[in-house]
Structure 1
Amino acid sequence: IGTVLVVLFAAFYYLPWLKRVIENFLYQYPYVQKLPGPKGVPFIGSIADLAGDTTVPLKFWKSEAEKARLAGEGLFTITVLGRTITFPINGEHLRSICESHEEVTKGKDYEYLRVWLGDGILLSIGKRWRDRRKAYTQLFHFSMLDGYLETFNVHARVMADVLKENAGKVVEMGDISKRYALDCIGDTAMGYQFGTQRDPSHPYLNAVDIFTNYSQRYNTEPQMWITWIWYLMYHRVYKDALDTINQLTEDVMNERFRRIKNGEIDLDAKKKPLIDQFICLEQDGQWTREDVRTELNAVIFGGHDTTSTTLTWAFWALATQPHYQQQMYEEIHDIFGDSDRDCDNEDLKAMEFTERFIKETMRMYPPVPTVERELQNDFQMGKYLLPKGSEVFICPYIVHHNPEIYPNPSKFDPDRFLPENIAKRNPFDYVPFSAGTRNCLGQKLAMHEMKCNLSWAMRKFSFHTDGNLLDQGLAIEVICKPTLGCKLKVVQRV
């Protein structure tokens, strides 16, 4: 009888959710039958095809994308437990959703981030999103970007010192890149010195890892959906991590507001962290104090993991392809010689091969697994009508590995990003940071940060491994991580 009571309780508890799911399924089912893609068992859909480790979803999606391509289609659709999900596989089909000003609502899988990121730039919709977007566009003006390069140099120097201390050893470049990126974003966003490159035990670093790990698992491990199991086994650790994140943000804000009130900080200074610019908006009455906290969390979240992951993949690609590593070294040596000077804007412009290399890294190993939209209306994509309530997944990996766009897509080739080759492609054939109305406003800042990092790393060190480029798989977490990590031997140049 106990089992029966548990089943009845669960059925009653989840009845409203189940009712909504079934209603959506019944509305969308006639549309789905006309869309290309695996049909699977009604309602259950392709859940079995997605079961397995964190590498399985990308493999399944890529396989279905190839079937759609060979059939002459520009998209495919799958269903998973009543959810209808469409994947465009080329820029032509991506353009319609990316450029839409109406369909900007984020997909269901982002909800797990709302307890941290709130209703800020990453998750908001409507007028609130448009107002935030306008504010951020002004904040990320080119003149503002110039001021952050000095900060990147400071932390890149520290990273070079850390590598020097480990010269001759095998190190995990993923950890080193992550600490560098967190120190950079803490400084540029909050004027706060995390110092994780010198102190890897900083509680914020561990808290972010725990929060993102639990949040991602919540989407894929059904036992976590059961309330009593969640509170018994997961809630305390999850809440402690979230409290650590929020407390640090609150402490930094309180200290910043205090120093501004006491006249210790000049809000009119040309170079200032984003928090000061957010506070200006708060003092003008455009934002509330809660808005400042929400946007700081959003910038920290969006500004360190994607950058650090791309750097990790870049170091892996350099170590497994010594000819490209030599080419990058020669470019950087031509610019800097044997000097120890900082990287400036003219240097960034001259690092043409380095930029192409980074772009090819993000083509082969895009940091973001999917960018999701939940359709608020029936939506025309190519020759197909997608149903209201269904979702569109922009999967950069699928588009970037379409052989009709990038011949021999598993070959690493930075020359794909020579100007004459870029001109041949649809602008939406390359979407590592999404594109269109909800594109990443910080992508230029991220490129500056990565080029600055490599200018220091390649001047002073070479990186080595016995592994091959394609040994790695992509593990889907909040971002796409290398399945084997990135353990490289660091050799100091003489």
Structure 2
Amino acid sequence: MLDVTWIGFSPLVGSLLASLLAVYYFVWSRSRFVRLIDTLPGPKTYPVLGNIFELNVAHDELLRKACHDWIKQYGSMYRVWFTVRPMVVIASPELLEPILSSNTLVTKADEYDCFIPLLGKSLAVAKPEEWKKNRRLLNPAFKVQILNSFMYAFNDKSLLCAKELEEAIKSSNGGEINVFPIMTHCTMDIICETTMGGKTLTDEDKAGYIKNFHGFENIFQQRLNQPWLRLDWLFELSGPGRANARFVGELRDFSNMLITHRRELVKRKTEFAQNESSERDANPTDELQVDDDTKKNLIFMDLLLKEGDVNGNFNPVEMRDEVSSMMAGGHDTTALAFTWFLYLISRNPDKQKLIVDELNNVFGDSDRPCTTQDLAELKYLECCIKETLRLYPSIPFMLRRLPEDVEIGGYVLPKGVTIGMMVYGMHHNPEVYPDPEEFKPERFFPENSVDRHPYAFIPFSAGPRNCIGQKFAMLELKVVLAHLLRQFQFSVSDPTEPMIIPLLETTLKPKSPVNLIVTKRSFQA
């Protein structure tokens, strides 16, 4: 009898719920929040669905729409609706400045919550108060003195990268080589040798980490594209959710392995130093020499261990999350920068020749390591790196959530709205960079940069919440590329082929493999 009653009343209950939802949507759609968002230009929306039909497209088409078509049609600030969640997209330095320069508008958007299983409350995704504390504690690990001490590792791993390229040349019989995996191995070796404290990775280590990291990235992208997967309980029950748990578990184990390795190494060094100190106490005539700078300048992992194990500022989970964040941000983005750079100079042999000429002026026919003094002279190489990062910023967009109303460009953007800082769109905005699709390193000559807005070039973000590792990345790029271009020439088999299309994902990955022809270069080139 109860079942019959329920069945009889279910259409009425359904109608009532539908009516309540319709009333709620009607009231919400006329709220101040929605009205402020809809004063902005943007593509036509549909009730409840917003712009979902135009946004649910392939990633290369989404890049074209978001960073070219809509900027041209609606200007450098427009709005889109992901069903009932709005985003205000900004793609000009003047409009981004109020956000980037602010010490209060530093809240990461809720969309980054999908990273929390791996990155926790680390610098990459932390809320403002946690971020300020952690950034203050970890900043000293990226002082110039420490970064310069990594030169030996940059040089050493550059040689290993060159050997891997030589082996690939032999395997390909002089044919094309997909350079992205090779550059990924190089960046992983470098970050583990330097900031992570000297852990040497096996091929199995690298393969396992890359597999798990790319798996995690792909599922993160699914969660962005499929709103129902943002419901944690539903996601955890789904196939992608179960796969994500496996990827996260393996990546966490990798981070814990790095911490354990360095902790044991530091312990052995401390015990050795204590034994030496005891011997000196027994022989007071021995001269005691203490390097105060060495004590003050701690690499990232040692500083993290000190702040965690000694000072109690990080618990074990937070330490693991900071290592995971540094690994994720320090290898994939730089590997992409290397890959896009080599692709661009392969398609622009005249620019490649200018770099090689500069290298010959500095190094002659020597195969000696790079020094910091050498790097100061490689000005054209630096311009080519910057132009690569303009055309292909590794992080194509950044998302912030406004904690308060903000007036920008004559519009009031309401508290709680997500701001899409479209780095790729701004770097390709013809109002910011004339001929934006052309590879012109000369844009970054000092005389051509004088009047450029300080926020017109932001591959590492800008302002208070910029990338903590940007100086590390630029130093790494210069040293490794100087080595590779002294030893190899890079070209494409068919320069008339269309450019490889980038994809608008969390990072700006190429749609197809970056296959280049790599040949050994004589030192007299």
Q: TM exceeds 0.5?
A: yes
Which of these residues, 187, 191, 195, is aligned with residue 189 of structure 1?
195
Q: What is residue 426 of structure 2 aligned with on the other side?
A: 399
**Alignment gaps of 5+ in structure 1:** none
The match for 1:260 among 255, 261, 266 is: 266
User: In the TM superposition, what is the alpha-carbon distance from 1:472 to its structure 2 partner?
Assistant: 1.4
Q: How big is the shift at 1:21?
A: 13
Once the two structures are overlaid, the 10-residue window that deviates more, 83-92 or 463-472, is 463-472
Tell me the residue number matched to 1:88: 90
Structure 2 vs 1, CA of residues 478 and 342 (structure 1 numbering), >3 Å: closer, same or farther?
same
Partner of 1:482: 510
User: For 1:461 and 1:195, how far apart are their aligned partners in 2?
Assistant: 25
Indicate the residue corresponding to 2:38 in structure 1. Answer: 33
Residue aligning to 1:374 = 401
Identity, % of aligned positions: 28
Whether the aligned pair in 2 keeps the contact of 1:75 and 1:87 (CA below 8 Å) is yes
Deviation at 1:418, TM superposition (A): 0.8
User: Which amino acid is 1:221 matched to?
Assistant: Q
Say if 2:156 is the partner of 1:150.
no
1:275 paired with 2:301, answer yes
Indicate whether 1:111 and 2:113 are aligned: yes
Asked if the contact 2:87/2:418 (under 8 Å) is kept, the reply is yes
- Equivalent in the alignment of 1:65: 71
Q: How many residues align?
A: 481
8 A Cα contact 2:199 2:258, kept in partner: no
Letter of the structure 2 residue corresponding to residue 89 of structure 1: A
Q: 1:384 aligns with which of 397, 402, 411?
A: 411
Residues 166-193 of structure 1 deviation map (CA, whole Å, 9 limit, x = unaligned):
2323211111111111111122222243
AA of the residue aligned to 2:246? D
Once the two structures are superposed, residues 120-153 of structure 1 have per-residue CA deviations (whole angstroms, 9 ceiling, x without a partner) of 1111123221112222332211111101221111
Give 2:458's match in structure 1, choosing from 431, 441, 450.
431
Deviation at 1:26, TM superposition (A): 4.0
CA deviation vs aligned residue, 1:221-257 (integer Å, no higher than 9, x gap):
3574575686352333322221111112212322332
- CA shift digits 1:181-232 (9 cap, x unpaired): 1111122222243536x55863122111111111222211357457568635
Q: Does the Cα contact within 8 Å between 2:142 and 2:300 map onto a contact in 1?
A: no
Cα distance change, pair 136–351 in 1 and its aligned pair in 2 (3 A) = same
Q: What does 1:41-80 correspond to in 2, within 5 Å?
A: 41-61=46-66, 62-69=68-75, 74-80=76-82
Give the match's secondary structure for 1:478. Answer: coil
The 2-side partners of 1:271 and 1:469 are apart by 49
Report the counterpart of residue 231 of structure 1 in structure 2.
237
255 and 411 in structure 1: CA distance in 2 versus 1, 3 angstrom threshold: closer
Q: Is the 8 A contact 1:259 1:265 kept in 2?
A: no
1:27-74 Cα shifts (integer Å, max 9, x gaps): 4211122112224213322211122211122211121111233xxxx4
Q: Distance between the aligned counterparts of 1:89 and 1:404, measured in 2?
A: 10
Q: What residue in structure 2 maps to residue 126 of structure 1? A: 128
Worse-matched range after superposition: 44-53 or 157-166: 44-53
- In 2, the alpha carbon distance for the partners of 1:110 and 1:356 equals 32
2:394–2:507 contact (8 Å) kept in structure 1: yes
Amino acid at match of 2:167: E
Equivalent residue in structure 1 for 2:485, among 458, 461, 467: 458
| Aligned-partner Cα distance in 2 for 1:225–1:442 | 30
Q: Deviations over 1:414-445 (max 9, x none)?
A: 01101122111110111111111211121111
Alignment partners' CA distance in 1, 2:114 and 2:272: 36
1:213 to 183, 197, 218: 218
Q: Could you tell me which of 373, 379, 390 is aligned with 1:363?
A: 390
**Partner SS state of residue 59, structure 2:** coil
In structure 1, what is the Cα distance between the partners aligned to 2:85 and 2:194? 39
Of 250, 258, 278 in structure 1, the residue corresponding to residue 256 of structure 2 is 250
CA distance in structure 2 between the aligned counterparts of 1:450 and 1:92, rounded to whole angstroms: 29
Q: Distance in 2 between matches of 1:264 and 1:322?
A: 54
Kindly provide the amino acid, as one letter, of the partner of residue 424 in structure 1: D
Partner AA of 1:86 in structure 2: V
Spell out the pairing of 1:401-420 with structure 2 (5 A cutoff): 401-420=428-447
SS at match of 1:392: strand
Could you tell me how far apart the structure 1 residues matched to 2:236 and 2:147 are?
Answer: 43
Structure 2 counterpart of 1:57, which letter?
L
Gaps of 5+ in 2: 274-292
Does the C-alpha gap of structure 1 residues 381 and 215 become closer, same or farther in structure 2, counting only changes over 3 Å? same
Residues in 2 aligned to 1:138 and 1:124: alpha-carbon distance in whole angstroms? 19
TM-fit CA distance, 1:292: 1.9
Q: What is the deviation of 1:297? A: 1.1
- Counterpart of 1:299 (choices 302, 321, 326) is 326
Residue of 458, 464, 473 corresponding to 2:501: 473
Which stretch shows the higher mean deviation, 285-294 or 126-135? 285-294
Structure 1 residues 145 and 428 mapped into 2: Cα distance closer, same or farther (>3 Å)?
same
Is 1:138 paired with 2:170? no
Q: Between 435-444 and 467-476, report the one with greater CA deviation.
A: 467-476
| In 1, Cα distance between equivalents of 2:55 and 2:216 | 23
Change (3 A) 1:23 1:305: farther
User: Residue 388 of structure 1: CA displacement?
Assistant: 1.4
> Cα distance, 1:307 vs. partner?
0.6
Distance 1:146 1:442 in 2: 13
User: TM-score of the superposition, structure 1-length normalised?
Assistant: 0.90
Q: Cα gap change, 1:298/1:232 in structure 2, threshold over 3 Å: closer, same or farther?
A: closer
Amino acid at match of 2:400: R
Cα deviation for residue 367 of structure 1 reads: 0.9
1:208 counterpart SS class = helix
> C-alpha separation between the residues in 2 aligned to 1:347 and 1:245?
37
Q: In the TM superposition, what is the alpha-carbon distance from 1:459 to its structure 2 partner?
A: 0.6
Equivalent-residue separation in structure 2 for 1:288 and 1:21 (angstroms): 47
CA contact (8 A) 1:356 1:417 kept: yes
AA of the residue aligned to 1:51: N
Moved more, 175-184 or 278-287: 278-287
Counterpart position of 2:279: none
Q: 2:349: which partner in 1?
A: 322
Q: Which residue in the other structure is 2:104 paired with? A: 102
